[in-house]
Structure 1
Amino acid sequence: MAILYHISKYLRRFIKAHTVNYMYTNGIPKVCTIKEMSCIQNKNNIIWIDMELTGLEIENDCILEIACLVTDENLNIISDEFHKILYQEDSILEKMNGWCKITHSESGLTKASQKSNENEDSVDKSLLNFMMQYVPAKKCPLAGNSIYIDRLFLQKYLKESNNYLHYRNIDVSSIKEVVRRWNPEIYSLAPKKTHSHKAMNDIKETIEELIFYRKNIFNINSN
């Protein structure tokens, strides 16, 4: 019995040392080793978020859609795609300004929001679980275009997810503005946006934009 006890104890330690977490790929759980998690959950990774909103006033407006991707430091996408559309009541949707009403109606987002079963609490939990697969707590910055707006709505509506992020932001819009002033020739060659106002498309376009600046302004090729 003593031998069996020591064998069991050894096996528990071995399993704990070699399997530390679950990742989800296309909804399928996979046990990850320490080596795998150390490669994926890297403090140099970058969290990309984009939202579509009912407006830009943090006191009155809400999140309609959110998408998230994670890249490594070289801007290679290493994550699955996170995408959620949140339910908002008709009374909120009716208060949107004219631009939002037209844009979100044409994209189908308004109708999708009316049919959604997701709310702020469910999306907050899902987003947090998603980020935990790829980044350690409070180590990785948030990135995007005019990302301070998204950060404000994260702070108000998706607090657990926001608290998991580092406080620093990488704002591609800021890089764009200095390039426009200091190197207008390069600025004119930057990838053109489609202005689809669909969260996942917008993230991918923003990553491509930063890849362009990385290569043409910082003279660094992607790895």
Structure 2
Amino acid sequence: MLLARPALSRVVSRIVTGGCMSPPHPGVRLRTAMADGMDQRMVWVDLEMTGLDIKKDEIIEMACLITDSDLNILAEGPNLIIKQPDELLDSMSNWCKEHHGKSGLTQAVRDSKISLAQAEYEFLSFIRKHTPPGVCPLAGNSVHVDKQFLNKYMPQFMRHLHYRIIDVSTVKELCRRWYPVEYECAPKKAASHRLENPISFIFTFFQSFG
């Protein structure tokens, strides 16, 4: 059942502002024994690719971590740079060449010894250790794009997860429209295109008002 806007907005504001606003209605934040169980965990993923064309582009870097429902980090997974052929790197768009070149990612991909299959095995082993199959969602910023690439290139990893996703960009956009003042209080994302920064930014954004 869809929530009416006032009810949903209370949930969104609570998630984003973490107490900066008035407390939500008591019924919004129900806590049960189940809420602290493994089935409530979230699998946060961030990718860097050679581009956004799912037909030809590939994953070149991936990071993953696990949190509980209150965004406490329970386990930090690997941050892997995946080997790709020079021909693919040379055919990247000018934007990717510039940003991945400046960050050092392009050279790191050329130097990497980690195959896509090896990367999927390591990430799958990590989430299997910390989450039950089929119940925990993929989470991240604009993670629908990451999901497309993971469905194509890491299908076993995706089969372990729930079909739903938690997209931080949706929460941010709702907050920007409904609570613009509080939204402006939030930290701004740094201009970086390496993965340790985007994932940590998500938690900084959510927890900065706590």
Residue number among 150, 160, 167 corresponding to 1:154 in the alignment:
150
- 1:63 matched to 2:46? The reply is no
Aligned to 2:200: 204
Kindly state the Cα deviation for residue 123 of structure 1 after the two structures are TM-superposed: 0.6
TM-superposed deviation, 1:192: 1.2
Pair 1:54-2:50 in alignment:
yes
Question: In structure 1, what is the Cα distance between the partners aligned to 2:153 and 2:77?
Answer: 21
Aligned to 2:121: 125
Deviation, structure 1 residue 197: 1.2
State the secondary structure of the residue aligned to 1:66: strand
State the Cα deviation string for residues 11-46 of structure 1 (Å, max 9, x = none): xxxxxxxxxxxxxxxxxxxxxxxxxxxxx9701011
The equivalent of 1:42 in structure 2 is: 38
| Identical pairs, percent | 41
Distance 1:98 1:129, change over 3 A: same
Matched, 1:167 2:163: yes
Return the alpha-carbon distance in structure 1 between the equivalents of residues 100 and 139 of structure 2.
Answer: 23
Q: Distance in 1 between matches of 2:175 and 2:69?
A: 21
> Shift of residue 82 of structure 1?
1.6
Q: How far apart, CA to CA, are the structure 1 residues paired with 2:37 and 2:161?
A: 13
Mapped to 1, the partners of 2:141 and 2:93 lie a distance apart of 21
CA distance in 2, matches of 1:67, 1:41: 23
Give the 4+ runs in structure 1 shifted more than 2 A. Answer: none
For 1:195, the equivalent position in structure 2 comes to 191
Equivalent in 83, 87, 90 of residue 87 of structure 1? 83
Residues 77 and 126 in structure 2, CA contact (< 8 A), matched pair in contact too? no
TM-score, normalising length: structure 2: 0.80
**By how many angstroms is 1:208 displaced?**
2.2
Q: In structure 1, how many angstroms separate the alpha carbons of the residues matched to 2:207 and 2:139?
A: 13
State the alpha-carbon separation in 1 of the partners of residues 71 and 141 from structure 2: 15
CA distance in 2, matches of 1:141, 1:174: 15
- Structure 1 counterpart of 2:207, one-letter code: I
Structure exhibiting the larger radius of gyration computed from Cα positions: 1
Tell me which residue corresponds to 1:74: 70
TM-score normalised over the length of structure 1: 0.75
Structure 2 unaligned spans of 5+: 1-35
RMSD of aligned alpha carbons: 1.6
Worse-matched range after superposition: 46-55 or 198-207: 198-207
Equivalences, count:
176
Letter in 2 for 1:65: E
1:47, 1:200 → 2: CA distance?
A: 15
Q: Distance between the aligned counterparts of 1:204 and 1:41, measured in 2? A: 23
The gaps in structure 1 that reach 5 residues or longer are 1-39, 216-220
Give the superposition deviation at 1:150. Answer: 0.5
Per the TM alignment, residue 114 of structure 1 is displaced from its structure 2 partner at its CA by 0.3
Contact 1:143 1:171 (C-alpha < 8 Å) held by counterparts: yes
Q: Which amino acid aligns with 1:44?
A: Q
User: Does the CA contact (< 8 Å) of 1:145 and 1:171 recur in 2?
Assistant: yes
